[in-house]
Amino acid sequence: MDEVLLRQALEFGKPYTGKGEVASYIPELSKADGRELGICVKTIDGEELHCGYWQRRFTIQSISKAINLAMALEHHGFDAVFLKTNMEPSGASFNAMSRISDSEDIPFNPLVNSGAIAIVELLVPLGLEYMLSAVRGLCGDKYITVDEDVFHSEWSHSARNRSLAYLLQSKGLINGDVDETLRLYTQLCSLSVTAESLANLGQLLANGGVQPETGRRLLKEEVVRTTLTMMLTCGMYDGSGEFAVRVGLPSKSGVGGGILSVVPGEMGIGVYGPSLDRKGNSVAGQKVLEYISRREKLHILDRYAQRTVPTEQN
Ligand code: GLU
């Protein structure tokens, strides 16, 4: 991959910015410029490529759910985490009430709002400062902070998430203070990142949880494996199936316009494009990733096919 390809991918994606809308259910997010598009790639060998608005700061939103899942797995283990959510794609919108409103069920997966809110309860004892410093480390970006304007904007328009949180409490999936869990969940959605921060995180995940430059392990191998599997099957909400066919990379989107994508064993990719489709995924960002995946044969199943050599007939 080279910068020419990235530029071509961005040119391919640009017309699609006009086919979506910036998020407005969190009023502060409606200030973003939907025409912006940027990408950053970091390979595990330390090569970096970038193009467009790759340094624009935006809020991480739902991409935090992948980090929260990894952190909860690190600190509490697989069984404790998956007592709170299942591991199934929901086929429903990101903030759906379905499934947990049935009498005994639990959220579909950790990457939809209901599952993510349940999991953040496990992170409350760690606290915001600890999480902030962990996210800075995982994203290799010491400038990440809570964007207070976005936080307050979402906090004062959080009726839906609040309803989900109380429903979770009624099912025994939140046992502590609902307000505290919801506050931390919303703060973690309001962390300001760039496409580069996401590419750094992707690079770490692509390298099995070990920082390539330092050789330091930041996440356990099985934590990375579980997180990437959830991203592959559930990371793009009710667009996860089609995205898996078209792009075929573990990815997580956020309504701030970011997409984190991981090419296991090779590279991390961060994309920014705040114009969203109706499912809440960056409309041009998905096109950019599809272009790159096709041109470079990055779809994880394409790569498997490349390794399969025809057998000799006798
Ligand atoms: N903070 C947003 C919410 O909870 C995140 C949604 C998203 O990025 O998809 O509604």
d(CA 181, CA 175): 10
Same domain, yes or no, for 8 and 125?
Answer: no
Burial class, 228, CB count within 10 angstroms (exposed 0-12 / middle 13-18 / buried 19+): buried
Give 102 Cα–ligand 1 centroid separation in angstroms: 23
Is 304 among the catalytic positions?
Answer: no
Q: How far apart are the first and last CA of the chain?
A: 39
The pLDDT score that the predictor gives to residue 104 is 65
Domain count within the chain: 2
CB 277 within 8 A of CB 313: no
d(CA 37, CA 19): 13
Sheet holding 251-253, edge to edge: 48-52, 38-43, 267-272, 258-263, 251-253
Last residue of a domain, one of 189, 214, 247: 189
Stated pTM of the model: 0.95
Is 62 among the catalytic positions?
Answer: yes
* 156 occurs within a structural domain: yes
* 310 occurs within a structural domain: no
Mutation probe of ligand 1 site: the residue of 168, 189, 198, 252 with most atoms within 8 A of C-beta: 189
The pLDDT score that the predictor gives to residue 111 is 96
The pLDDT score that the predictor gives to residue 314 is 41
Same domain, yes or no, for 57 and 201?
Answer: yes
Last residue of a domain, one of 159, 174, 189: 189
Asked if residue 238 has its Cβ within 6 Å of ligand 1, the reply is no
b/e burial code for range 242-281 (CB count within 10 A of at least 16 → b):
ebbebbbbbbbbbbbbbbbbbbbebbbbbbbbbbbbebbb
Ligand 1: nearest atom to the Cα of 189 = 1
Is 190 among the catalytic positions?
Answer: no
Asked if residue 273 has its Cβ within 6 Å of ligand 1, the reply is no
Question: What CA–CA distances, in Å, run from 285 to 37, 115, 129, 288?
Answer: 7, 25, 31, 5
Same domain, yes or no, for 202 and 287?
Answer: yes
List pLDDT tens digits, range 220-251.
999 999 999 999 999 998 999 999 999 999 99
Give 58 Cα–ligand 1 centroid separation in angstroms: 13
Give 24 Cα–ligand 1 centroid separation in angstroms: 11
The pLDDT score that the predictor gives to residue 93 is 82
Same domain, yes or no, for 71 and 50?
Answer: no
Give 208 Cα–ligand 1 centroid separation in angstroms: 27
Ligand 1: nearest atom to the Cα of 61 = 8
Same domain, yes or no, for 231 and 289?
Answer: yes
CB 140 within 8 A of CB 200: yes
* 304 occurs within a structural domain: no
The pLDDT score that the predictor gives to residue 231 is 98
* pLDDT above 90 for 115: yes
* 231 occurs within a structural domain: yes
Place of tokens 């005994």: 104
Give 3 Cα–ligand 1 centroid separation in angstroms: 31
Closest CA to 109 of 91, 124, 131: 91
CB 132 within 8 A of CB 191: yes
* pLDDT above 50 for 11: yes
* 71 occurs within a structural domain: yes
* pLDDT above 80 for 17: yes
Same domain, yes or no, for 11 and 48?
Answer: yes
For 172, the domain range is 64-189
Asked if residue 94 has its Cβ within 6 Å of ligand 1, the reply is yes
Same domain, yes or no, for 114 and 39?
Answer: no
d(CA 145, CA 84): 28
Same domain, yes or no, for 122 and 162?
Answer: yes
Mutation probe of ligand 1 site: the residue of 113, 161, 251, 282 with most atoms within 8 A of C-beta: 113
Give the whole-number percent of the chain exceeding pLDDT 70: 95
* 15 occurs within a structural domain: yes
Provide CB contacts within 8 A for 31, sequence distance 6+: none
Q: CATH number for the domain including 225? A: 3.40.710.10
Same domain, yes or no, for 144 and 167?
Answer: yes
Q: Which of 16, 53, 237, 272 is catalytic?
A: 237
Mutation probe of ligand 1 site: the residue of 154, 158, 282 with most atoms within 8 A of C-beta: 154
* pLDDT above 60 for 310: no
